Structure 1
Amino acid sequence: MAESTIWWVVAGIAVALELITGTFYLLMLAIGVAAAAIAAHLGADTTTQLVTAAIVGSCTVGGCYLIRSRRPSDAPAESNRDVNLDIGETVQVDGWNADGTATVKYRGAKWTVIGTGDTHGAGPHRVRSVSGSRLVVEKI
Structure 2
Amino acid sequence: MQPSYVWFSLAVLLIIAELTTGTFYLLMVALGLAAGGVAAMAGLAFPAQAALAALVGVIAILLLRRSRFGKTRRAGSVASNPDVNLDIGEEVSVAQWGADRRARVSYRGAEWDVELAGDQPPAPGRFRIVELRGNTLIVKPRQG
For Structure 1 versus Structure 2, the TM-score category normalised by the shorter chain is 0.7 to 0.9
How far apart, CA to CA, are the structure 2 residues paired with 1:22 and 1:105?
40
How far apart, CA to CA, are the structure 2 residues paired with 1:62 and 1:78?
33
What's the counterpart of residue 129 of structure 2?
127
How far apart, CA to CA, are the structure 2 residues paired with 1:59 and 1:130?
43
Q: Report the CA distance between 1:14 and its aligned residue.
A: 2.3
Residue type at the aligned position of 2:132: V
What's the counterpart of residue 5 of structure 1?
5
Alignment of 1:45-124 (within 5 A): 45-67=45-67, 68-69=70-71, 73=74, 76-117=77-118, 118-124=120-126
Residue type at the aligned position of 2:37: A
How far apart, CA to CA, are the structure 2 residues paired with 1:13 and 1:96?
61
SS at match of 1:84: coil
- Tell me the TM-score normalised to structure 1 length: 0.82
Structural RMSD (CA): 2.3
Structure 1: 5+ residue runs without aligned partners? none
How far apart, CA to CA, are the structure 1 residues paired with 2:22 and 2:90?
36
Give the 3 Å change call, closer, same or farther, for CA 77–50 of structure 1 in structure 2: same
Structure 2: 5+ residue runs without aligned partners? none
- Tell me the TM-score normalised to structure 2 length: 0.81
Range with bigger deviation, 77-86 or 99-108: 77-86
How far apart, CA to CA, are the structure 1 residues paired with 2:89 and 2:51?
53
SS at match of 2:12: helix
Q: Report the CA distance between 1:43 and its aligned residue.
A: 1.6
Is the 1:78–1:131 Cα contact (8 Å) retained in structure 2?
A: yes
Give the 3 Å change call, closer, same or farther, for CA 22–125 of structure 1 in structure 2: closer
How far apart, CA to CA, are the structure 1 residues paired with 2:82 and 2:25?
30
SS at match of 1:32: helix
| Corresponding residue pairs, total | 139
SS at match of 1:120: coil
How far apart, CA to CA, are the structure 1 residues paired with 2:121 and 2:33?
59
SS at match of 1:127: strand
Give the 3 Å change call, closer, same or farther, for CA 79–8 of structure 1 in structure 2: same
Give the structure with the higher percent helix.
1
Q: Report the CA distance between 1:125 and its aligned residue.
A: 1.4
How far apart, CA to CA, are the structure 2 residues paired with 1:119 and 1:89?
21
Q: Percent identity?
A: 40
